Each structure stands twice: as C-alpha cells, then as structure tokens.
Amino acid sequence: MNNKKHNKNYIYQFMRCIYWKYEFLQKLRQNLQRIRISLKEYISECCNSRHNKKFLDSLTSRRNDSYALHTARRSKVVREWPNLDISIVTYNSSEWLDNFFSSLLTQHYPLKIISLYIIDNGSTDETVNKIQKFFSEKGKYFAATFFAQQKNLGFGAGHDRALRQGKNVYALVTNVDIEFLPSSLCRVMEVALSDTAGAVGSWELRQFPYEHPKHYDPVTMETSWSSHACILLRRSAYEKCGGYDTAIFMYAEDVEISYRLRSYGYILKYVPSASIWHHTYSDGNIVKKNQYIGSIIGNMYIRLRYGNCREIFIGLLHGIAFMCHSHPFPNARKILAKSFFSMILRLPKIRGMKGTAQALYPFRGFDYELRRDTTLIAAQPLSEEQSSLPTVSALIRTYKGRGFMLKQAMQTIFNQTYPHIELVISEDGGNYLQKLVEEMAWQAPEGVKIRYLPNPRQGRSAIGNTALRAATAPFFFFFDDDDLLYADHIETLMQGLLAHPECVVAYAPGLEILTDINIDEKQYKEKKYMRFDALSQEWDYDILLNYNFIINTAIARRELYIKRGGFDTSLEFLEDWNLWIRYGFKNIFYYTPKTTALFRTPSDPSNIIKRNKQFFNAYGESKKRALLSIQSYENSAT
C-alpha cells in the first residue's frame, strides 16, 4: 500500500514539473478551465435565476453600510425587555409538548411579559388536553394566554390567526417540536433591539442539531429567506406585508413571506447566537413525504409570484422533469400534477400580494439560496455555562490600504458565537490602520478583546510570528484580512478540539470566492463562489506532504507553537503549508466537513497563473525546509 502511494506521489510530482516547465500547458489549462466554468455558468443560468448572483452582490454591497453592521450586533445593555407575543400552532403534537413547555418555563426572559397564543389544527391525540392542562397550571405565570381550536387549515393560516390576536411590537413564531435554551429569547431580542429604525422584518434563530445549510452574509448577517421553525417577527412588518399566505398549506410558506417582507423593503437577519433544539430530524438526510412534495409545490408557487416570465418557464420545465422522474413516495406525480394545474388557473391572484420594493428573489432549481454545505451535519450548542471555555486568539495579518477589508474581517469576529476571543491585528509596514482598529474596538462585543501591533516592513511570515508571540490564549488561528468567517467557525472547531484532546489542530473546508480587488478604489467585486472537493479532505499526513488541503483558518493548540515554532521567515509563499507539515508530524488533526469560512483568490486568469507559478516555485523549498525542521525535532528527541 505504501509503495502504491509512493508511486502515485512520484507521478504527481513529475507531472507538476512538466506542467510548470511549459507555459503553453499553463495557458491551455487556464483556457480549458475558463471554458468549463463558462459552460457551467451558462447551464446554471439556464436552470436557475439570474437574480442569484445579483442578490449575492447586493448582500456584499451592504457590508459597507454602518447600520447593516450595527443591526448585526447584540445590544450591549437592555434596560427593559419589551412585551412579547408567542404564536404556536399544533397538530397531533402531544409527543413534543412536555419538553416544549418545560423549556419555555426555563427562559431567562421574564414570563410575566410574554403572551401565549395557541391554535390547534384539529388534533386527535392528547394535544388539546395537554395544552389546557398547561394553561390551567402555568398560565398564571404569563401576561396572557389564548387557545382556540379549528380544522386543519395549514401552518400559515394557524399562525396568522394566532398573530392577529396579539398586539405587541414583537411576536415569536415557533414550532412545538423545538426546545428553547434558557437564553434563546433574550439573545434574539438583544439583536432585535439594535434595530431602532425598524428596518429589519425578522430575526431567525439557529437550529440544533442540524443548522440550515443555506448561506448568509457573515458580515451583516442578512439572508434572502428565513426558516420559520422559530423566528422573531416585527409585528408592523408582518401586518404591512399582509401576513402568511394561507393558500400555502405547509412548507415554503416561510420562504414566501420572507420574499414578501423583502418586497416591502424589509431586511431579514440570521441570529446564530440565539439557538434552539429542533427535533424534526433524527438524521440530516431524511426525506419526508410532506416536505418533499410541499417544497416542490411551494417553489412553483413562489416562482409564479416573484419570478419573471423566464423563471416561471424554467419552473414549469423543472415541474415537467419532476413529473417524469421517479419519486420516493407513491402518488407524488399525481399530487404534483393536480397542484401545478391548480396554480396555473389561479395565476392572476398569485401574482398579486407582493410589495413594490426593488428586491431580488433567488431560485436554484427547487431550492433558493447558495448552500454552505452539501450535507446537514449534526452539532450541539455551547454550554450555557461559558465561563469555563478557553480563550482563542484570532490573528490577522494586514497592511496599508487594506482597511476596507480588515473592517469586514473584524466584523465576522464580532459575530462569532464563541464567547472568549483575543483578536490580535498585526500590521506590516507601519501603523496606518491603527485608527480604524481603535474605532472598531469600541463596537466589539463584551467577549472580544482587541490588540493592535504595528510593525516595520517585514513580510507576512514575520508579522505572523509577531502576532503569535503576543497572543496569550491556549488556542490560536490565523486568517487574512480579506477572509470571512461564518458565525460558528470558532465554536465548531473548538468543540472538535475540546472533544478530541488527542488532536492538536482542528480544520474545516471553506468556500473560495474568486474576487477582483481594487486597493486604490477600496472596493472589490466577487465573481464566483466555489467549493473544491480537495479541501474536503479527512486528515492524512501523507496527502498533506504533497498538497495543502488545510486553509489558514484552522485552530491550533498554542503548545505547538512553543514546541515547533511559528512561520519560517525565509518563506514568502506556502508558509502556512510549511507550518502544517511541521505541526502535523506524528500528530492528529481533527476534521469537520462543515464549511465555516470563506477565502478569496484572484479571478483574473493572468493573476491566477502568476499566483500558481509563485506557489510552484516555492513548493520545493517550503517542503524541504519543513522536513529539515522535522529532522531537527527527531534529533533533539534522541
């Protein structure tokens, strides 16, 4: 087996040398890649909405909006919690109610200012009895309670009736197959209260064990649509847009009202610091009949309302394809055909009801938003007792002219769900960015402590080592000033390290963003989001010796730096690969397949060739110096 791997590596190295020796091969490869990408984009445009990329661009443009950044943060001081309505719809929900009610009673949010509104959609089990018993025994702890029974008119119709009973500024819509964490309501309300202008229409809570894999902007925490398994709504926004569309019985009603809220000019926020348990899945890959059919029907309905003629036509083609496709459930084809025909007849009515704001509505087949991951990955929330969690040092290397990107990278640290972070910013070539860092420090959340280190011109490796020497936490990671982190990046990797003490580094794949950066004009243009299978690599030291599959946002134990040093300052390129080779020797790294970061590479083909050539030229030296360092470890050990 080792011989096979050795031969494979030898062939790989030989082909690399041939490739970089002849420039025409490099240009040929780039041209073939451009053709492949163009073809893929053309096919994607044919199958999906042209709004997809435009919407991502619109999210990106708002990263410079100070209010968009302000409303992504939790209010530091809440002097008085606002009254809150909670809307609940039940249907044969007996098995979930005990845990749901118990978790509600443990809320840090004052129960005396919470009004409960429950609508039962014709349950035939013990649901009604359990609700009545809870209200008779615990109703006195709440500001008000309301319970009504009706025939099963669907999720949206039930919640609409409940919400119309309330009157408070904020209303929480929730499933009953969820359990609140004690801090859930306080955390989501802290973010909601930062929006004093009424610009935000809803705040979505994060779900455990399976977080929805859709992309959200990690800087502003804005998204194109929100799951309504548990969501805080601004009542005035809900009423202005007309409430849930009762024509959608179940599934996709949350996407529809999300799009409608945006059609009235509202922004949607994701709040991963506010978490709940959602018990709808025992496994992330389960396919449910009602969800499967409901999602397809709902997508077509939403296309008919928000899509243009082209997107509606594409939706019809998708529908026809589904009619001819085999389905995991019997009678699915018949149900879909009947529903599609019914929608076409009601087209004039469906096209109404939306607002006049110039909003963009993504469609990706029978999905909507770009996905972070290819599969749902089980996770668990951090302990409510967070004081015992160790601090992590986040180390950013930057230099003059990069402030507009550094600010956004810092914001993604502020958005982290992990509570204890030491942010060390090391600037190469002066103190040009000191004022910006000091201004941002005033906006940092309580758990983030910021240190700024100006340096003379030394290079990336040297200023990285300066940051490493200054860091004080038992764990650290680097990320460049143009990298972005999803809010759970540190949390996800630290949970892996703490659960696996035998591992010295934790890493995860990232989304690559092909980007044109203009330093002079202080702006960038994101061309394409890409996911590479090569970065979704389980730990294998032999593979690491041939190419770097670990992006620089991996978290390492500080003891590694103490024992094996920092960056090799003689290296200008591939210094991170050199570091991982040295740290990985006779060690184990923890890998999670969840995408937790975004990193940028140039989009211009000539820049790509230039960059890759620099990496190739540095390849041999970087590996050689790493192996020499490893040899010194071996010699010192003996």
- Of all helices (H) and strands (E), which one includes residue 556? strand 555-557
DSSP 526: E
C-alpha closest to that of 303 among 294, 312, 292: 312
Q: What is the mean pLDDT of residues 110-134?
A: 97
The confidence band for 122, taking pLDDT boundaries of 50, 70 and 90, is very high
Rounded percentage of the chain residues whose pLDDT exceeds 70: 90
The pLDDT tens digits of the residues spanning 458-492 come to: 999 999 999 999 999 999 999 999 999 999 999 99
Band of the pLDDT at 612, cuts 50, 70, 90? confident
For the ranges 189-198, 235-244, 358-367, 498-507, the lowest mean pLDDT is seen at: 358-367
Show the 3-state SS of 401-450.
CCHHHHHHHHHHHHCCCCCCEEEEEEEECECCCHHHHHHHHCCCCCCEEE
Report the pLDDT averaged over residues 23-42.
68
Q: Average of pLDDT values for 331-357? A: 79
Burial label, 284 (beta-carbon count in 10 A; 0-12, 13-18, 19+): middle
**pLDDT beyond 60 at 33:** yes
Distance separating alpha carbons of residues 210 and 277, to the nearest angstrom: 9
Residue 263 is predicted with a pLDDT of: 96
Weakest-pLDDT range from 211-225, 297-311, 439-453: 297-311
Q: Give the pLDDT of residue 128.
A: 97
* Residue pLDDT, tens place only, 191-241: 999 999 999 999 999 999 999 889 999 999 999 999 999 999 999 999 999
pLDDT digits (tens, 9 = 90+) for 167-205: 999 999 999 999 999 999 999 999 999 999 999 999 999
pLDDT confidence of residue 1: 46
Average pLDDT, the chain: 89
CA distance 417 to 25: 46
pLDDT at 285: 52
Higher-pLDDT residue of 636, 524:
524
- Residue carrying structure tokens 């922004």: 267
pLDDT at 635 over 50: yes
- Between CA 562 and CA 565, with CA 564 as vertex, the angle to 5 degrees is 70
As a whole number of angstroms, the distance between CA 304 and CA 320 comes to 15
Cis omega before residue 110 (within 30°)?
no
Q: What is the pLDDT of residue 172?
A: 98
**CB within 8 Å of 239: residues ≥ 6 apart:** none
What pLDDT is recorded for position 93?
96
Structure confidence at residue 2 as a pLDDT band (50, 70, 90): low
Predicted local distance difference test score (pLDDT) of residue 40:
67
Alpha helices in 442-584 (DSSP H): 460-470, 489-499, 541-544, 558-564, 575-584
DSSP structural state of residue 257: H
pLDDT at 634 over 90: no
Looking at residue 30, what is its pLDDT? 66
Give the dihedral of Cα atoms 554, 557, 558, 564; nearest 10 deg: -90
d(CA 549, CA 547): 6
Average pLDDT for 376-404: 89
